[in-house]
Amino acid sequence: AAAQAGLYTASDQIVILSPADVEAVLWNSSAATVVEFYASWCGHCIAFSPVFKGLARDIKEWKPAVELAAINCAAEENRKVCTSYGIRGYPTLKFFNAYTKAGGNGTKHNETFSLDFPRDIRGLRHKIIDQLENHAEPWPPACPPLEPTSQAEIDSFFETNNVRHLALIFEEARSYVGRELTLDLLQFENIAVRRVLNTEEALVSKLGVTTFPSCYLYYPGGNFTRLKVKAEARAFYSYALQRLPGVVRSGKPAPVSPDVLNNNTEEVWRPFNRSRVYMADLESTLHYSLRVEVAAHTVIRGEALISLRNYIAALAKYFPGRPVVMNLLKSVNSWLQNQTGSEISYEAFEGVLDNAAQSPDAALPEGQRWVGCQGSRPHLRRYPCGVWTLFHVLTVQAKNAGGSDPQEVLSAMRSYVHVFFGCRLCAEHFENMARESLTEVSTLSSAVLWLWSRHNQVNNRLAGDLSEDPNFPKIQWPSPEMCPACHTAKTNGDHLWNKEKVLAFLLSHFAANSIVKDYLE
């Protein structure tokens, strides 16, 4: 029988359990694990799945201490596993302590979550912290201490801890911000986070703290400064602390200076402004896409041919290029639309691309000259950075030009990525996201915002990956420094994007007249 399709995919940062790996994941793991036992046909499970996915993104940085996993009990092959954990109703959440032992003695698992658990991200996050605080020995080794600190501990802190920054979160006992941040930063070096209760009078009066929560940076010798943030809330502290000098992901090389970049990269480093978009990146992307990536298909037919047609059509319509490049894209487009056969050869397509001799005012510059997409190593950034940039630009141009079909650009992108994008795993992840939510896009503005938010989902998933350039950490973009108005905090402290302001920011950031023309041939 066909396997029952589950509610989660490989893109969700949730471990999908099967009978073959359930023991390996749940038993003797160094992380505590929250497992959702669900049935894919159950309405409450379907309704809960976006929350669980959102939780996975929200606490992604906690992974070495807390993992999320899920198992579909509706799949027949999983029935025995679900029965052995006593699952009777769906969804059920169970919290497995780190180093849970198989059967017999030892804590098998902690059942407190059970069927009665919060159905919102914030509530679940707090519940997980409660569970961690009550965690039996042995404590998950990656999990830093969560209990409040004291003057005495701070006094000797730098004798026993080799970190550059100590961030103190002053807060009331019922606040979770300090513990959340401790976990949010657990994968970063050169920084430690401790919570200080407002009742810790010695420290409160020494630093003159009057706002709870608030964050102070404390240094050896007793110097301290207050961390300046737009709002006294988790997300704002987290953005700011991750950017402190010397703070890097564990095991990652530190960011390097431009002089070092000149020695590291095969070409001379091109200085650029990080808050701008460069035409050289867009042209390099077109060059690589059309002359290298598409070239992998010697014969283009069927879905690939439709895909290439739509991609070129979108480019001819919305690419804000120099006149020579636009002339070329338009002539490639009309050539493609005129091909009535069921297939074309790449050779023929390449002939049209290179046929600049026919018309000297139509050409696509050859070669790659990365600027805003330069990486601190030759294998980092570049083309995939260019692809994202190109598609953001196109969705914004479609909006500014008043295109008629809100999904035109995104469908072209989806199908280009699906058929041609060389990174096959990326293509699979992107297709999962598109299948899940592209139908939500019903206006040109929502297309711009859809791509922005899915790109942030990818950033969230890739933060800390090998492909991350230490000089360009993956953040939820744009940062509060880049767009202060884009970020707000709810009264409960949860971060909230101001979508209207984000849209305005994107429309201006990727607008044709904001694109910098430096470094063009």
- Does 429 participate in binding ligand FAD (rule CB under 6 A)? yes
Do 406 and 442 meet the contact criterion of CB atoms below 8 Å apart?
yes
Do 37 and 90 meet the contact criterion of CB atoms below 8 Å apart?
yes
Distance CA 450, CA 392 (A): 10
Residue 307 vs residues 335, 453, 519: alpha-carbon distances, Å: 15, 24, 31
Q: Can you say how many angstroms the Cα of residue 36 is from the centroid of all Cα atoms in its chain? A: 23
- Does 416 participate in binding ligand FAD (rule CB under 6 A)? no
DSSP notation for 143-171:
PPP-SPP-HHHHHTHHHH---SEEEEEEE
Closer of 459 and 498 to ligand FAD (Cβ): 459
At its nearest, how many Å lie between ligand FAD and the CB of residue 159?
38
Smallest CA-to-CA distance from 465 within 70, 8, 13 is with: 13
Active site includes 483? no
At its nearest, how many Å lie between ligand FAD and the CB of residue 385?
3
Name, in order, each residue with C-beta under 8 angstroms of 485's C-beta and a sequence gap of 6 or more.
Answer: 498, 501, 505
Element (H, E) at 68: strand 66-72
Name, in order, each residue with C-beta under 8 angstroms of 68's C-beta and a sequence gap of 6 or more.
Answer: 13, 14, 15, 33, 34, 35, 36, 52, 55, 56, 59
Active site includes 373? no
- Does 477 participate in binding ligand FAD (rule CB under 6 A)? yes
Closer of 368 and 389 to ligand FAD (Cβ): 389
Q: Contacting ligand FAD (CB under 6 A), which of 68, 398, 412, 417? A: 417
Closer of 184 and 469 to ligand FAD (Cβ): 469
Can you state the angle between helices 408-419 and 424-437, rounded to 10 degrees? 150
Q: What is the dihedral of CA 216, 218, 224, 229, to 10 degrees?
A: -30
- Does 425 participate in binding ligand FAD (rule CB under 6 A)? yes
At its nearest, how many Å lie between ligand FAD and the CB of residue 304?
17
Catalytic residue among 45, 215, 385, 486: 45
Distance CA 243, CA 175 (A): 24
Closer of 16 and 458 to ligand FAD (Cβ): 458
Binding residues for ligand FAD, total number by CB under 6 A: 25
Closer of 38 and 452 to ligand FAD (Cβ): 452
Q: Contacts with ligand FAD in 238-267 (CB under 6 A)?
A: none
Do 167 and 191 meet the contact criterion of CB atoms below 8 Å apart?
yes
Site string for ligand FAD, 366-395 (x = CB under 6 A): -------x-------x--xx-xxx--x---
Site string for ligand FAD, 432-471 (x = CB under 6 A): --------------------x--xx-xx--x--x-x-x--
Q: Contacts with ligand FAD in 177-236 (CB under 6 A)?
A: none
- Does 472 participate in binding ligand FAD (rule CB under 6 A)? yes
At its nearest, how many Å lie between ligand FAD and the CB of residue 387?
4
CB atoms within 10 A of CB 47: 11
Which residues would be at the binding site for ligand FAD (CB under 6 A)? 373, 381, 384-385, 387-389, 392, 417, 423, 425-426, 429-430, 452, 455-456, 458-459, 462, 465, 467, 469, 472, 477
Catalytic residues: 42, 45
